[in-house]
Chains A and B, each alone.
With several copies, the nearest count.
Chain A
Amino acid sequence: MTVVVKIGGARAVNPEGALADIAELDEDCVVVHGGSTAVDDTLDAMGTEPEYVETPSGVVGRFTDEETMDVFKMALPGLVNTDLVTGLQNAGVDAVGLSGVDGGLLTGKRKSAVRVVEDGKKKIRRGDHSGTIQDVNADLLDTLLASGYTPVASPPMLAEGTAVNTDADRAAAAVAGALGATLVVLTDVEGVYADPDDPSTRIESVETPAEYDALTDAAEGFMTRKVMAATEALESGAREVVVASANAERPIVTALDAGG
């Protein structure tokens, strides 16, 4: 069995519990990370404001112009990935960092124009660097796993010859689907609750369509994306998806026990 672990990329979040856990897993493991806050921090260090836009249906997302795309490369495959790989090496995991561009790991179609709503007006913004994953190069991951390495992958993806932004949760979902793996999505929040006010109603894992219908209903706010990613993972071939707290002492083992 292979486990795909999605972890946050924020430097503020201490991933040590997760890294130590990965070191003790018996299963083959692929780590996928994001790093949106590292992008914002780097833009801030350069005196640039991050730009977020809202789509007509109310989804808020980053608008990634060319300059922001360069900062994105610096922050994700640069700073966050190198730090995670270093942390894993120190935990005894022979990690190898990959961006979605490496070996065409994550490829698909580019979306350079987006419909947005600004000040109540509908607009078209061009020059966005984002894309949707259609293919995962599972061979590259299998090659590294077979030789004892732990791939640590992150956006950008490669779309029409250009490195572009793509959602890290969806990247993790696509990887889990391509490998037929179990996906463990670690989040800073405690999980999704059938009743957000009642901690005992936490939905710990989803394995059937009926269960993820219930999950979709329960997910609110930014958790919606994690649930959508979980849905994509299951539809594309993942064995199982567990959304779990990154703050547990042994977050991955706990998540696998709960899910398994």
Chain B
Amino acid sequence: MTECIECGADVTLHDDLEVGEIVDCATCGAELEVLGTDPVELDTAPELEEDWGE
């Protein structure tokens, strides 16, 4: 269990968490990016404009 950095609520994490993965906070809905897994470190996931092609 780790705290949501937006609302402070506990965030449930699955076992095979990967760096770069985005998890949603079930309480406030914030998108959190996994910066590290051992120990788990979360930060607000950046908004990234999606483009239709490169």
Interface residues of A, Cβ cutoff 8 Å to B: 55-57, 59, 61-62, 64, 111, 113-115, 121-126, 130, 132, 165-167, 169-170, 224-225, 228
CB-CB under 8 A from A121, the residues of chain B are 18, 21-22
Q: Are B53 and A61 in contact (CB under 8 A)?
A: yes
| A195 to B36 alpha-carbon distance, docked (Å) | 50
Can you list 14 A-B pairs with a CB-CB distance of less than 8 A?
A: A59-B51, A61-B54, A113-B46, A113-B48, A121-B21, A121-B22, A122-B22, A122-B31, A123-B20, A126-B20, A130-B54, A165-B54, A166-B54, A225-B53
Ordered nearest first, which 5 A-B pairs have the shortest CB separation? A122-B22, A130-B54, A123-B20, A225-B53, A61-B54
| Size bracket of the B interface | 10 to 19
From B18, B21, B22, B48, A111 is in contact (CB under 8 Å) with B48
Main SS class of interface, A:
strand
CB-CB under 8 A from A166, the residues of chain B are 54
CB-CB under 8 A from A55, the residues of chain B are 50
Q: How far is the CB of A216 from chain B (nearest CB, A)?
A: 12
